[in-house]
A and B are shown apart, each in its own frame.
Chain A
Amino acid sequence: MYLSIEAFIQEAEKTGKRLSDLMIEQEMVQSQMSYEEIWQLMELNLETMEAAVKAATEGEGVFSPTGLTGGDAIKLKKYREGGKTLSGDRMLQGVQSALGTNEVNAAMGVICATPTAGASGTLPGVLFSIKDSLDLSREEMIRFLFTAGLFGLVVANNAMIAGAVGGCQAEVGSASAMAAAAAVEVAGGTPRQSADAFGTALGNLLGLVCDPVAGLVEIPCVKRNAIGAGNALIAADMALAGIENKIPADEVVEAMRQIGVSMPRELRETGIGGLAGSETGKRMKKEIFGE
Protein backbone atom coordinates (compact mmCIF):
# COMPACT_ATOMS: atom_id res chain seq x y z
CA MET A 1 0.00 0.00 0.00
CA TYR A 2 1.24 3.50 -0.84
CA LEU A 3 1.74 5.42 2.37
CA SER A 4 3.24 8.57 0.87
CA ILE A 5 2.68 10.67 -2.22
CA GLU A 6 6.37 10.51 -3.05
CA ALA A 7 6.26 6.69 -3.10
CA PHE A 8 3.62 6.46 -5.77
CA ILE A 9 4.96 9.38 -7.82
CA GLN A 10 8.29 7.55 -7.98
CA GLU A 11 6.55 4.30 -8.89
CA ALA A 12 4.64 6.06 -11.66
CA GLU A 13 7.83 7.67 -12.97
CA LYS A 14 9.70 4.36 -12.85
CA THR A 15 7.02 2.28 -14.56
CA GLY A 16 5.46 4.89 -16.82
CA LYS A 17 2.05 3.98 -15.42
CA ARG A 18 -0.65 6.50 -14.77
CA LEU A 19 -1.56 7.22 -11.15
CA SER A 20 -5.08 5.96 -11.80
CA ASP A 21 -3.57 2.61 -12.88
CA LEU A 22 -1.58 2.39 -9.65
CA MET A 23 -4.75 3.01 -7.64
CA ILE A 24 -6.68 0.32 -9.49
CA GLU A 25 -3.81 -2.15 -9.07
CA GLN A 26 -3.63 -1.48 -5.34
CA GLU A 27 -7.39 -1.87 -5.02
CA MET A 28 -7.29 -5.23 -6.81
CA VAL A 29 -4.64 -6.53 -4.39
CA GLN A 30 -6.40 -5.19 -1.29
CA SER A 31 -9.95 -6.16 -2.12
CA GLN A 32 -9.43 -9.30 -4.21
CA MET A 33 -12.00 -7.86 -6.63
CA SER A 34 -11.59 -7.94 -10.39
CA TYR A 35 -10.68 -4.93 -12.54
CA GLU A 36 -14.21 -4.86 -13.94
CA GLU A 37 -15.87 -4.99 -10.52
CA ILE A 38 -13.74 -2.12 -9.23
CA TRP A 39 -14.33 -0.09 -12.38
CA GLN A 40 -18.11 -0.59 -12.11
CA LEU A 41 -18.16 0.48 -8.47
CA MET A 42 -16.39 3.71 -9.40
CA GLU A 43 -18.77 4.26 -12.30
CA LEU A 44 -21.65 3.99 -9.84
CA ASN A 45 -20.02 6.74 -7.77
CA LEU A 46 -19.79 8.90 -10.90
CA GLU A 47 -23.46 8.28 -11.71
CA THR A 48 -24.41 9.30 -8.16
CA MET A 49 -22.48 12.56 -8.57
CA GLU A 50 -24.17 13.27 -11.90
CA ALA A 51 -27.63 12.62 -10.47
CA ALA A 52 -27.04 14.99 -7.54
CA VAL A 53 -25.88 17.83 -9.79
CA LYS A 54 -28.84 17.25 -12.09
CA ALA A 55 -31.32 17.37 -9.20
CA ALA A 56 -29.86 20.64 -7.93
CA THR A 57 -29.86 22.42 -11.28
CA GLU A 58 -33.32 21.56 -12.56
CA GLY A 59 -36.56 23.41 -11.90
CA GLU A 60 -36.38 25.46 -8.72
CA GLY A 61 -33.44 23.44 -7.38
CA VAL A 62 -33.31 21.74 -3.98
CA PHE A 63 -33.75 23.22 -0.50
CA SER A 64 -32.75 21.94 2.92
CA PRO A 65 -35.45 21.22 5.54
CA THR A 66 -34.25 24.20 7.61
CA GLY A 67 -34.44 26.57 4.65
CA LEU A 68 -30.93 27.87 5.39
CA THR A 69 -29.54 26.69 2.06
CA GLY A 70 -30.75 25.75 -1.40
CA GLY A 71 -31.50 27.24 -4.78
CA ASP A 72 -28.08 28.87 -5.20
CA ALA A 73 -26.90 26.49 -7.94
CA ILE A 74 -29.94 27.59 -9.95
CA LYS A 75 -29.13 31.25 -9.30
CA LEU A 76 -25.62 30.72 -10.60
CA LYS A 77 -26.91 28.82 -13.62
CA LYS A 78 -29.15 31.75 -14.55
CA TYR A 79 -26.33 34.21 -13.96
CA ARG A 80 -24.05 32.20 -16.27
CA GLU A 81 -26.70 32.24 -18.94
CA GLY A 82 -26.41 36.04 -18.95
CA GLY A 83 -23.00 35.50 -20.51
CA LYS A 84 -21.13 38.12 -18.50
CA THR A 85 -19.16 36.65 -15.63
CA LEU A 86 -16.05 37.77 -13.84
CA SER A 87 -14.43 34.36 -13.28
CA GLY A 88 -15.22 32.84 -16.66
CA ASP A 89 -17.90 30.34 -17.56
CA ARG A 90 -15.93 27.12 -16.98
CA MET A 91 -14.88 28.18 -13.51
CA LEU A 92 -18.45 29.02 -12.60
CA GLN A 93 -19.69 25.80 -14.10
CA GLY A 94 -17.49 24.04 -11.56
CA VAL A 95 -18.79 26.25 -8.77
CA GLN A 96 -22.37 25.54 -9.86
CA SER A 97 -21.87 21.77 -9.63
CA ALA A 98 -20.10 22.13 -6.29
CA LEU A 99 -22.88 24.24 -4.79
CA GLY A 100 -25.53 21.96 -6.25
CA THR A 101 -24.04 18.78 -4.83
CA ASN A 102 -23.81 20.23 -1.35
CA GLU A 103 -27.33 21.61 -1.60
CA VAL A 104 -28.51 18.06 -2.29
CA ASN A 105 -26.47 16.88 0.69
CA ALA A 106 -28.02 19.49 3.00
CA ALA A 107 -31.44 18.50 1.66
CA MET A 108 -30.86 14.85 2.72
CA GLY A 109 -30.49 13.70 -0.86
CA VAL A 110 -28.15 10.95 -2.02
CA ILE A 111 -24.54 12.01 -2.64
CA CYS A 112 -21.13 10.37 -2.95
CA ALA A 113 -18.79 11.39 -0.12
CA THR A 114 -15.48 12.69 -1.58
CA PRO A 115 -13.78 12.30 0.84
CA THR A 116 -16.62 13.40 3.13
CA ALA A 117 -20.24 14.43 2.70
CA GLY A 118 -19.52 17.99 3.83
CA ALA A 119 -16.91 18.27 1.08
CA SER A 120 -18.84 16.23 -1.49
CA GLY A 121 -19.27 19.09 -3.99
CA THR A 122 -15.63 20.00 -4.59
CA LEU A 123 -14.61 16.95 -6.62
CA PRO A 124 -17.68 16.83 -8.89
CA GLY A 125 -17.38 20.59 -9.32
CA VAL A 126 -13.91 20.23 -10.77
CA LEU A 127 -14.74 17.08 -12.72
CA PHE A 128 -17.84 18.45 -14.44
CA SER A 129 -16.08 21.72 -15.25
CA ILE A 130 -13.13 20.05 -16.98
CA LYS A 131 -15.36 17.40 -18.54
CA ASP A 132 -16.60 20.08 -20.91
CA SER A 133 -13.43 22.14 -21.25
CA LEU A 134 -11.27 19.06 -22.00
CA ASP A 135 -14.06 17.04 -23.63
CA LEU A 136 -13.36 14.08 -21.30
CA SER A 137 -14.49 10.58 -22.18
CA ARG A 138 -16.38 8.44 -19.67
CA GLU A 139 -13.16 6.50 -19.08
CA GLU A 140 -11.20 9.66 -18.29
CA MET A 141 -13.86 10.78 -15.82
CA ILE A 142 -13.65 7.48 -13.97
CA ARG A 143 -9.84 7.66 -14.01
CA PHE A 144 -10.12 11.12 -12.47
CA LEU A 145 -11.91 9.54 -9.50
CA PHE A 146 -9.30 6.79 -9.05
CA THR A 147 -6.44 9.30 -9.07
CA ALA A 148 -8.30 11.49 -6.59
CA GLY A 149 -8.78 8.38 -4.44
CA LEU A 150 -5.07 7.59 -4.37
CA PHE A 151 -4.22 11.04 -3.01
CA GLY A 152 -7.20 10.93 -0.64
CA LEU A 153 -6.01 7.66 0.90
CA VAL A 154 -2.63 9.18 1.73
CA VAL A 155 -4.29 12.17 3.44
CA ALA A 156 -6.79 10.00 5.33
CA ASN A 157 -4.14 7.60 6.62
CA ASN A 158 -1.43 10.19 7.37
CA ALA A 159 -3.49 13.13 8.58
CA MET A 160 -7.29 13.34 8.78
CA ILE A 161 -10.37 13.97 6.64
CA ALA A 162 -12.91 14.76 9.36
CA GLY A 163 -13.71 18.36 10.26
CA ALA A 164 -14.26 17.32 13.85
CA VAL A 165 -10.64 16.17 14.00
CA GLY A 166 -8.78 18.64 11.77
CA GLY A 167 -11.09 21.47 10.74
CA CYS A 168 -12.43 22.17 7.25
CA GLN A 169 -8.90 22.13 5.81
CA ALA A 170 -9.19 18.34 6.28
CA GLU A 171 -12.47 18.19 4.37
CA VAL A 172 -12.66 20.84 1.64
CA GLY A 173 -8.86 21.22 1.72
CA SER A 174 -8.33 17.50 1.10
CA ALA A 175 -11.09 17.38 -1.52
CA SER A 176 -9.63 20.36 -3.35
CA ALA A 177 -6.13 18.87 -3.35
CA MET A 178 -7.39 15.46 -4.52
CA ALA A 179 -9.33 17.11 -7.33
CA ALA A 180 -6.37 19.27 -8.39
CA ALA A 181 -4.08 16.24 -8.64
CA ALA A 182 -6.67 14.26 -10.62
CA ALA A 183 -7.37 17.18 -12.95
CA VAL A 184 -3.68 17.37 -13.83
CA GLU A 185 -3.60 13.69 -14.80
CA VAL A 186 -6.61 13.81 -17.12
CA ALA A 187 -5.31 17.07 -18.62
CA GLY A 188 -2.15 15.21 -19.65
CA GLY A 189 0.21 16.48 -16.96
CA THR A 190 2.93 14.39 -15.33
CA PRO A 191 2.56 12.54 -12.01
CA ARG A 192 4.98 15.07 -10.51
CA GLN A 193 2.74 17.89 -11.68
CA SER A 194 -0.20 16.14 -10.02
CA ALA A 195 1.73 16.21 -6.74
CA ASP A 196 2.54 19.90 -7.26
CA ALA A 197 -1.12 20.71 -7.87
CA PHE A 198 -2.07 18.69 -4.80
CA GLY A 199 0.46 20.47 -2.59
CA THR A 200 -0.51 23.90 -3.88
CA ALA A 201 -4.24 23.31 -3.43
CA LEU A 202 -3.93 21.91 0.10
CA GLY A 203 -1.37 24.55 1.07
CA ASN A 204 -3.77 27.29 0.01
CA LEU A 205 -6.48 26.05 2.37
CA LEU A 206 -4.33 25.29 5.43
CA GLY A 207 -5.89 26.53 8.63
CA LEU A 208 -9.45 26.45 7.38
CA VAL A 209 -11.71 26.01 10.41
CA CYS A 210 -14.87 23.92 10.66
CA ASP A 211 -17.63 26.14 12.06
CA PRO A 212 -21.04 24.84 10.96
CA VAL A 213 -23.86 27.19 11.95
CA ALA A 214 -26.29 25.38 14.28
CA GLY A 215 -24.13 22.28 13.79
CA LEU A 216 -25.72 21.86 10.35
CA VAL A 217 -23.78 21.01 7.19
CA GLU A 218 -25.14 24.11 5.45
CA ILE A 219 -23.53 27.43 6.34
CA PRO A 220 -20.69 27.83 5.45
CA CYS A 221 -20.21 24.29 4.11
CA VAL A 222 -22.12 24.65 0.84
CA LYS A 223 -20.19 27.74 -0.25
CA ARG A 224 -16.85 26.39 0.96
CA ASN A 225 -17.13 23.71 -1.69
CA ALA A 226 -17.19 26.51 -4.25
CA ILE A 227 -13.81 27.76 -3.05
CA GLY A 228 -12.55 24.17 -2.98
CA ALA A 229 -13.46 23.66 -6.63
CA GLY A 230 -12.12 27.05 -7.75
CA ASN A 231 -8.90 26.57 -5.80
CA ALA A 232 -8.39 23.12 -7.35
CA LEU A 233 -8.78 24.43 -10.90
CA ILE A 234 -6.33 27.25 -10.21
CA ALA A 235 -3.79 24.92 -8.55
CA ALA A 236 -4.05 22.42 -11.42
CA ASP A 237 -3.54 25.15 -14.01
CA MET A 238 -0.51 26.48 -12.15
CA ALA A 239 1.04 23.00 -11.99
CA LEU A 240 0.37 22.42 -15.69
CA ALA A 241 2.08 25.73 -16.39
CA GLY A 242 5.17 24.31 -14.71
CA ILE A 243 4.85 26.14 -11.40
CA GLU A 244 6.30 23.83 -8.76
CA ASN A 245 5.22 23.59 -5.16
CA LYS A 246 8.41 24.09 -3.21
CA ILE A 247 7.14 22.28 -0.11
CA PRO A 248 6.81 18.57 -0.98
CA ALA A 249 3.22 17.31 -1.01
CA ASP A 250 3.78 14.86 1.87
CA GLU A 251 5.08 17.70 4.04
CA VAL A 252 1.98 19.75 3.24
CA VAL A 253 -0.13 16.81 4.45
CA GLU A 254 1.91 16.66 7.66
CA ALA A 255 1.57 20.43 8.12
CA MET A 256 -2.19 20.04 7.74
CA ARG A 257 -2.19 17.32 10.41
CA GLN A 258 -0.15 19.45 12.80
CA ILE A 259 -2.46 22.43 12.33
CA GLY A 260 -5.48 20.17 12.78
CA VAL A 261 -4.36 18.75 16.11
CA SER A 262 -3.46 22.18 17.45
CA MET A 263 -6.75 23.78 16.41
CA PRO A 264 -9.02 24.73 19.31
CA ARG A 265 -12.00 22.44 19.77
CA GLU A 266 -14.40 25.36 19.24
CA LEU A 267 -13.21 25.54 15.64
CA ARG A 268 -13.49 21.83 14.90
CA GLU A 269 -17.08 21.04 13.95
CA THR A 270 -18.51 21.68 17.37
CA GLY A 271 -20.70 24.47 16.04
CA ILE A 272 -19.38 26.78 18.77
CA GLY A 273 -16.77 29.11 17.24
CA GLY A 274 -16.22 30.90 13.94
CA LEU A 275 -19.32 31.69 11.89
CA ALA A 276 -21.36 29.39 14.18
CA GLY A 277 -20.44 31.73 17.04
CA SER A 278 -21.47 34.91 15.20
CA GLU A 279 -24.57 36.74 16.43
CA THR A 280 -26.59 35.61 13.43
CA GLY A 281 -25.20 32.07 13.63
CA LYS A 282 -26.33 31.80 17.26
CA ARG A 283 -29.74 33.27 16.42
CA MET A 284 -30.22 30.71 13.62
CA LYS A 285 -29.39 27.89 16.01
CA LYS A 286 -31.97 29.17 18.49
CA GLU A 287 -34.60 29.49 15.79
CA ILE A 288 -34.05 25.94 14.58
CA PHE A 289 -33.48 24.03 17.80
CA GLY A 290 -34.86 26.33 20.50
CA GLU A 291 -32.83 27.15 23.61
Chain B
Amino acid sequence: MAEEVSRIGKKETKVINYKSCFDVIGPIMIGPSSSHTAGAIMIGRVANLLFQGKPKRAIVKYYESFAQTHKGHGTDYAIASGILGFSAADERVPHALKIAKEEGIAIEFIEIPGDSPVYHANTACITLQDDEHEVHITGISIGGGTIEIKYIEIEGFAIEPQGQLPMLLVLTGNSHVKSYMEDFLIGHHIKITTITRYQNEENRYLFVYDLDSPLSDELRAEIVAMGDPSRLIVL
Protein backbone atom coordinates (compact mmCIF):
# COMPACT_ATOMS: atom_id res chain seq x y z
CA MET B 1 0.00 0.00 0.00
CA ALA B 2 2.79 2.40 0.92
CA GLU B 3 4.35 1.71 -2.42
CA GLU B 4 1.13 2.50 -4.22
CA VAL B 5 0.78 5.81 -2.41
CA SER B 6 4.32 6.86 -3.17
CA ARG B 7 3.87 6.00 -6.84
CA ILE B 8 0.74 8.07 -7.09
CA GLY B 9 2.44 10.83 -5.12
CA LYS B 10 5.29 10.83 -7.62
CA LYS B 11 2.99 11.26 -10.57
CA GLU B 12 1.51 14.41 -9.13
CA THR B 13 4.83 16.15 -8.54
CA LYS B 14 6.66 17.28 -11.62
CA VAL B 15 10.00 15.50 -11.77
CA ILE B 16 12.73 17.38 -13.56
CA ASN B 17 15.31 14.82 -14.51
CA TYR B 18 16.79 16.68 -17.44
CA LYS B 19 18.29 19.92 -16.19
CA SER B 20 20.79 20.82 -18.88
CA CYS B 21 20.68 21.18 -22.66
CA PHE B 22 23.65 18.83 -22.67
CA ASP B 23 21.35 16.11 -21.35
CA VAL B 24 19.52 16.15 -24.69
CA ILE B 25 22.31 17.38 -27.00
CA GLY B 26 24.90 14.95 -25.70
CA PRO B 27 26.53 13.06 -24.15
CA ILE B 28 29.39 12.43 -26.52
CA MET B 29 29.57 8.67 -26.28
CA ILE B 30 30.34 5.30 -27.76
CA GLY B 31 27.16 3.54 -28.81
CA PRO B 32 25.08 1.88 -29.63
CA SER B 33 22.33 2.99 -27.21
CA SER B 34 22.29 6.00 -24.91
CA SER B 35 19.92 4.35 -22.45
CA HIS B 36 21.42 0.86 -22.65
CA THR B 37 25.06 1.92 -23.00
CA ALA B 38 25.74 5.50 -21.78
CA GLY B 39 23.04 5.23 -19.09
CA ALA B 40 24.28 1.79 -18.06
CA ILE B 41 27.81 3.20 -17.73
CA MET B 42 26.39 5.83 -15.37
CA ILE B 43 24.64 3.18 -13.26
CA GLY B 44 27.88 1.21 -13.06
CA ARG B 45 29.75 4.39 -12.15
CA VAL B 46 27.39 5.11 -9.27
CA ALA B 47 28.08 1.62 -7.91
CA ASN B 48 31.80 2.30 -8.35
CA LEU B 49 31.59 5.66 -6.55
CA LEU B 50 29.73 4.10 -3.63
CA PHE B 51 32.08 1.15 -3.35
CA GLN B 52 35.20 3.31 -3.36
CA GLY B 53 37.74 0.85 -4.68
CA LYS B 54 38.06 -2.26 -6.79
CA PRO B 55 35.50 -4.95 -5.99
CA LYS B 56 36.24 -8.65 -6.30
CA ARG B 57 32.76 -9.55 -7.46
CA ALA B 58 29.90 -7.79 -9.20
CA ILE B 59 26.41 -9.23 -9.54
CA VAL B 60 24.21 -7.43 -12.07
CA LYS B 61 20.50 -8.17 -12.29
CA TYR B 62 18.63 -6.94 -15.35
CA TYR B 63 14.90 -6.38 -15.68
CA GLU B 64 12.51 -5.87 -18.63
CA SER B 65 14.14 -4.16 -21.66
CA PHE B 66 17.57 -4.50 -20.05
CA ALA B 67 16.94 -8.23 -19.55
CA GLN B 68 15.73 -8.69 -23.12
CA THR B 69 18.31 -6.69 -25.04
CA HIS B 70 21.45 -6.27 -22.92
CA LYS B 71 23.54 -8.44 -25.22
CA GLY B 72 22.62 -6.59 -28.38
CA HIS B 73 22.91 -3.17 -26.81
CA GLY B 74 26.30 -3.66 -25.20
CA THR B 75 24.84 -3.13 -21.72
CA ASP B 76 27.22 -5.70 -20.21
CA TYR B 77 30.39 -3.93 -21.24
CA ALA B 78 28.78 -0.61 -20.34
CA ILE B 79 28.05 -1.69 -16.75
CA ALA B 80 31.58 -3.10 -16.54
CA SER B 81 32.94 0.22 -17.85
CA GLY B 82 31.11 2.08 -15.10
CA ILE B 83 32.40 -0.29 -12.43
CA LEU B 84 35.91 0.34 -13.79
CA GLY B 85 35.27 4.11 -13.68
CA PHE B 86 35.39 4.73 -17.44
CA SER B 87 33.51 7.66 -19.01
CA ALA B 88 30.95 7.22 -21.82
CA ALA B 89 33.34 8.28 -24.60
CA ASP B 90 36.31 6.20 -23.36
CA GLU B 91 37.70 4.06 -26.17
CA ARG B 92 38.11 1.18 -23.72
CA VAL B 93 34.31 0.93 -23.27
CA PRO B 94 33.74 -1.91 -25.80
CA HIS B 95 36.60 -3.91 -24.21
CA ALA B 96 35.55 -3.40 -20.58
CA LEU B 97 34.52 -7.01 -19.92
CA LYS B 98 37.97 -8.23 -20.86
CA ILE B 99 39.63 -5.46 -18.87
CA ALA B 100 37.52 -6.25 -15.80
CA LYS B 101 38.56 -9.89 -16.01
CA GLU B 102 42.21 -8.92 -16.26
CA GLU B 103 41.74 -6.70 -13.20
CA GLY B 104 40.39 -9.65 -11.25
CA ILE B 105 36.76 -8.49 -11.08
CA ALA B 106 34.30 -11.36 -11.58
CA ILE B 107 31.05 -10.05 -13.05
CA GLU B 108 27.88 -12.10 -13.24
CA PHE B 109 24.88 -10.97 -15.31
CA ILE B 110 21.44 -12.31 -14.48
CA GLU B 111 18.25 -11.79 -16.51
CA ILE B 112 15.28 -11.58 -14.17
CA PRO B 113 11.86 -12.35 -15.65
CA GLY B 114 8.84 -10.26 -14.72
CA ASP B 115 8.38 -6.65 -13.70
CA SER B 116 11.10 -4.33 -12.52
CA PRO B 117 11.00 -3.78 -8.73
CA VAL B 118 10.91 -0.03 -9.38
CA TYR B 119 8.48 -0.07 -12.31
CA HIS B 120 10.85 0.95 -15.09
CA ALA B 121 11.73 -0.82 -18.35
CA ASN B 122 15.46 -0.19 -18.02
CA THR B 123 16.32 -1.40 -14.53
CA ALA B 124 19.63 -2.77 -13.27
CA CYS B 125 20.44 -3.85 -9.71
CA ILE B 126 24.15 -4.04 -8.95
CA THR B 127 25.94 -5.60 -6.00
CA LEU B 128 29.66 -4.94 -5.58
CA GLN B 129 31.60 -6.99 -3.03
CA ASP B 130 35.02 -7.74 -1.70
CA ASP B 131 35.87 -9.72 1.44
CA GLU B 132 35.21 -6.76 3.74
CA HIS B 133 32.18 -4.92 2.46
CA GLU B 134 29.50 -4.64 -0.15
CA VAL B 135 27.14 -2.07 -1.68
CA HIS B 136 23.84 -2.53 -3.52
CA ILE B 137 22.20 -0.09 -5.87
CA THR B 138 19.20 -0.08 -8.16
CA GLY B 139 19.37 2.29 -11.10
CA ILE B 140 17.06 3.05 -13.99
CA SER B 141 18.15 4.43 -17.33
CA ILE B 142 15.54 6.88 -18.52
CA GLY B 143 16.98 7.84 -21.91
CA GLY B 144 19.70 9.92 -23.48
CA GLY B 145 22.26 8.74 -20.92
CA THR B 146 20.32 10.15 -17.95
CA ILE B 147 19.64 7.87 -14.98
CA GLU B 148 17.88 7.75 -11.64
CA ILE B 149 19.11 5.87 -8.58
CA LYS B 150 16.15 4.33 -6.76
CA TYR B 151 17.84 2.25 -4.07
CA ILE B 152 21.17 2.38 -2.25
CA GLU B 153 22.50 0.06 0.45
CA ILE B 154 25.72 1.23 2.04
CA GLU B 155 27.26 0.77 5.50
CA GLY B 156 24.08 -0.56 7.00
CA PHE B 157 21.85 2.14 5.54
CA ALA B 158 19.21 1.07 3.04
CA ILE B 159 17.60 4.07 1.40
CA GLU B 160 15.22 4.84 -1.44
CA PRO B 161 16.34 8.24 -2.72
CA GLN B 162 14.23 10.41 -5.00
CA GLY B 163 16.40 9.24 -7.87
CA GLN B 164 17.51 12.31 -9.73
CA LEU B 165 21.18 13.16 -9.94
CA PRO B 166 23.30 14.93 -8.86
CA MET B 167 23.02 13.63 -5.33
CA LEU B 168 25.46 14.13 -2.47
CA LEU B 169 25.81 11.50 0.25
CA VAL B 170 27.47 12.31 3.56
CA LEU B 171 28.20 9.48 6.02
CA THR B 172 29.19 10.84 9.40
CA GLY B 173 28.98 10.51 13.15
CA ASN B 174 28.56 14.25 13.54
CA SER B 175 25.04 15.58 13.00
CA HIS B 176 26.28 19.16 12.65
CA VAL B 177 27.75 18.29 9.28
CA LYS B 178 24.24 18.58 7.85
CA SER B 179 23.91 22.34 8.13
CA TYR B 180 27.58 22.93 7.42
CA MET B 181 27.26 21.15 4.09
CA GLU B 182 24.00 22.93 3.34
CA ASP B 183 25.65 26.32 3.84
CA PHE B 184 28.59 25.26 1.71
CA LEU B 185 26.33 24.25 -1.20
CA ILE B 186 24.20 27.39 -0.97
CA GLY B 187 27.38 29.44 -0.79
CA HIS B 188 28.36 27.97 -4.13
CA HIS B 189 24.93 28.78 -5.66
CA ILE B 190 23.95 25.12 -5.79
CA LYS B 191 20.20 24.68 -5.49
CA ILE B 192 19.14 21.92 -3.09
CA THR B 193 15.80 20.21 -3.78
CA THR B 194 15.64 18.17 -0.58
CA ILE B 195 17.85 17.04 2.29
CA THR B 196 17.06 13.70 3.88
CA ARG B 197 18.51 12.59 7.20
CA TYR B 198 18.95 8.95 8.16
CA GLN B 199 20.22 7.74 11.52
CA ASN B 200 21.15 4.21 12.56
CA GLU B 201 21.36 2.52 15.95
CA GLU B 202 25.05 3.33 16.35
CA ASN B 203 24.27 7.05 15.99
CA ARG B 204 25.79 7.20 12.55
CA TYR B 205 24.14 9.56 10.11
CA LEU B 206 23.60 9.53 6.40
CA PHE B 207 22.59 12.85 4.86
CA VAL B 208 21.34 12.82 1.29
CA TYR B 209 21.25 16.10 -0.61
CA ASP B 210 19.23 16.07 -3.82
CA LEU B 211 20.68 18.85 -5.93
CA ASP B 212 18.95 20.82 -8.65
CA SER B 213 22.11 22.19 -10.27
CA PRO B 214 24.76 20.24 -12.14
CA LEU B 215 28.09 20.32 -10.30
CA SER B 216 31.25 21.39 -12.07
CA ASP B 217 34.16 18.96 -11.94
CA GLU B 218 36.04 21.46 -9.77
CA LEU B 219 33.27 21.68 -7.19
CA ARG B 220 32.86 17.90 -7.11
CA ALA B 221 36.56 17.55 -6.42
CA GLU B 222 36.39 20.24 -3.75
CA ILE B 223 33.51 18.52 -1.95
CA VAL B 224 35.17 15.11 -2.04
CA ALA B 225 38.44 16.63 -0.83
CA MET B 226 36.68 18.07 2.22
CA GLY B 227 36.73 14.71 3.95
CA ASP B 228 37.50 11.05 3.71
CA PRO B 229 36.22 10.13 0.24
CA SER B 230 34.24 7.19 1.60
CA ARG B 231 32.25 9.64 3.72
CA LEU B 232 31.51 12.26 1.06
CA ILE B 233 30.20 10.82 -2.15
CA VAL B 234 28.95 12.90 -5.07
CA LEU B 235 26.81 10.91 -7.50
| Docked-complex contact A153 and B18, CB < 8 angstroms | yes
Q: Contact mask B158-188 → A, CB, 8 Å, 1/0? A: 0000000000000000000000000000001
Residues of chain B within 8 A of A117, CB atoms compared: 29, 31-34, 37-38, 145
Binds B, one of A155-163, A199-207, A229-237, A244-252: A155-163
Is there an interface contact between A162 and B30, defined as CB atoms closer than 8 Å? no
Establish whether residues A152 and B72, one from each chain, have CB atoms under 8 Å apart when the complex forms. Answer: no
Chain A: which residue is nearest B72 at the CB level?
A215
A111 to B37, CA, bound (A): 12
Known: A117-B31, A160-B142, A162-B142. A269 touches B24 (CB 8 A): no
* B81 in the interface (beta carbon within 8 A): no
Instruction: State how many angstroms separate the Cβ of B78 from the closest Cβ of chain A.
Output: 11
Residues of the A chain whose Cβ atoms lie less than 8 Å from the Cβ of B70: 215
Shortest Cβ distance from A116 into chain B, in angstroms? 4
CB < 8 Å neighbour of A162 from B37, B93, B141, B214? B141
Q: How far is the CA of A45 from the CA of B72 in the complex (A)?
A: 26
Flag if A215 contacts B35 (CB, 8 Å). Answer: no
Across the interface, A217 reaches (CB within 8 A) one of B23, B27, B73, namely: B73
CB distance from B92 to the nearest CB of A (A): 12
- When C-beta atoms are compared, the residue in chain A nearest to B191 turns out to be A30
> Roughly how many angstroms separate A45 CA and B21 CA in the complex, as a whole number?
11
Contact A157 B18 (CB under 8 A): yes
Does residue B230 face the partner (Cβ distance < 8 Å to A)?
Answer: no
A171–B145 CA distance with the chains assembled, in angstroms = 13
Decide yes or no whether B117 CB sits under 8 A from chain A.
Answer: no
Residues of A within 8 A of B189 (CB): 32
Per-residue A-contact encoding for B42-76, CB less than 8 Å = 1, 0 else: 00000000000000000000001100111111100
Q: Which residues of A contact B25 (CB under 8 A)?
A: 42, 45, 112, 114-115, 123, 145-146, 148-149, 152
**What distance in Å separates the Cβ of A47 from its nearest Cβ neighbour in chain B?**
9
Name the residue of chain B whose CB is nearest to the CB of A151: B24
Contact status A116-B33, CB under 8 Å: yes
Within A129-156, the residues touching B (CB, 8 Å) are 145-146, 148-150, 152-153, 155-156
Given contacts A31-B213, A270-B68, contact A265 B121 (CB under 8 A): yes
A32-B216, A117-B38, A153-B23 known; A108 and B30 CB under 8 Å?
Answer: yes
Besides A27-B21, A106-B32, A153-B23, 15 more A-B contacts (Cβ < 8 Å) are A45-B22, A106-B31, A108-B30, A108-B93, A110-B89, A112-B29, A113-B34, A157-B18, A163-B143, A164-B35, A165-B120, A165-B143, A215-B72, A218-B32, A270-B69
The 3 closest A-B pairs by CB, nearest first: A162-B143, A215-B72, A215-B69
Interface CB pairs A-B, < 8 A, 12: A48-B28, A104-B31, A108-B94, A112-B27, A115-B143, A153-B18, A164-B35, A164-B65, A212-B72, A215-B71, A217-B73, A288-B72
Query: Residues of A with Cβ closer than 8 Å to B?
Result: 1, 3, 23, 26-27, 30-33, 41-42, 44-45, 48, 104-118, 120, 123, 145-146, 148-150, 152-153, 155-157, 160-165, 170-171, 178, 212, 214-218, 265, 268-272, 288-289
